[in-house]
Structure 1
Amino acid sequence: MNLNFKEIATATMVLFAVIDILGSIPVIISLRKKVGHIQSEKASIVAISIMIAFLFVGERILNLIGIDVNSFAVAGAFIIFFLAIEMILGITLYKDDLPETASIVPIAFPLIAGAGTLTSILSLRAEYHVENIIVAIIINVIFVYFVLKSSKRIEKVLGQNGLGVIRKVFGVILMAIAVKLFAANIGGLMS
C-alpha cells in the first residue's frame, strides 16, 4: 500500500477544483426546479463508478487508440487550464444543453464525472499512486453527495458572492495545477 497523505490531499484538491460542485450549485438548483427530485445517492454511485472505472481502463483505452499517458496528461493540462480560465473570468467557453432527466445525466455525467474530471484522473495517474487517487475520488464523491443533498441550504448560506469567490479561488489553484502538470509531462513527449 502506497498511501501518502500529501498525494491524497493534492489529488483531492485537484478533483475538488475540477468537479467544482460548489460552483455547480446554481445548475443543480435550476435542474431541481425543472425535474423535481434529484436522487443524490444514484448520482454519487454512478459518478464514483465512472471515475474508478476510468482510472483503471482509461489508460488501456488510450493505448488502444495509440495515445500515451504523457500526451493525455498534457492535453489534460490544457483542459484544466481552460476550466480555470472559465472559473477565474466567469466566462463559459463550453456549454452543454441540459436534458430533462437529471440524476445520471447531467449530474453524474458530465457535471461530476465529466471530461475535465476524467482527464484529471488520468493525468493524476501519471504522477500519483492509484490507491491515493481512489481515496481522493471517494472523499470527493462523499462531499458531492452532501452538497447534492443540501444544495438549497448551501446557496442560502454562501449567497451568489460567496459562490463566486470560491469559484475564483479554485480557478487560480486549478491554473497552477495545470501549469505543473504540463511541466511534469512535456519532457516525456520531447524524449
Structure 2
Amino acid sequence: MCSVNCAKCLGCTLIPLAVLGTLANILLFFPGSYKIDNNLNLSEEVWYFGGILGCGVLMIFPSVSLLNLKKSDCCANYDPEDCGKNLRMFNAMLFAGTGIVGALYALVISVVAINRGPKCFVGNNTWKYPFHNGNYLKDKHLWSICIEPINIVPWNLSLFSIQLIISSIQMLLCTIQVVKSFFTIICAKCRCPVICGGKTAP
C-alpha cells in the first residue's frame, strides 16, 4: 500500500509540472510585448513543442496511471492483493517510462535552445541566430546584438531554463517510479494465478 500511495503522490506532482511546462512553451510564442509578423522568425526550438509535447502531453499518461493505480487491479476478483499490486506496478512502470521519454525530449530541446540562443533581428533586415556555442551566457554585453524583439534573450533564456528544470524534475520522478515498480515486482512474495477461460490455476 505504501508503494501505491507514493505513486499517487508522484502523479499529483507531475500534473502541475506538466501545466507549467506547457505554459512556458506557449509563452515562447509571444516574446514579451513584441509581435512577430512572420512566424519563421521565431526560434526553431519553440516549434519543437518541448514543453507542450514532452512536459505536457506525454506526461498525462504516467500522471493518470499513477493517480488511478489502485483501480487497475486485474486480480481483484480472485483476491490475491499482492499479485494485483504487482500488475498495477508493472502498468505504472510502463507509463512512467513514457514520461521519461517525454521529459528527456523536452530536456534535450531546452539544452539545445539555451546553447544556441534565440533568433532575433540584428539589423539590415536580417533575422538570424547571432550567438554561437552559448557564448552569450558568459558575456551579457553580447545581448545587445539582438535589436528586436526587445529583451528576447532573457525571455528565451528564462523560459527554456524553466522548461529544463521542469523536465529534469519530471524525469527524476518518473525514474523513481520505474525503479520502485521494478523492485516491487521483483521482490514480490506471492505468485499471481494464471487466469484462463475464467478459471484460475496456481
What TM-score comes out, normalization by structure 1 length? 0.37
Which protein has greater RCO, CA pairs closer than 8 Å, 6+ apart?
1
What TM-score comes out, normalization by structure 2 length? 0.35
Larger radius of gyration: 2
More helix by share: 1
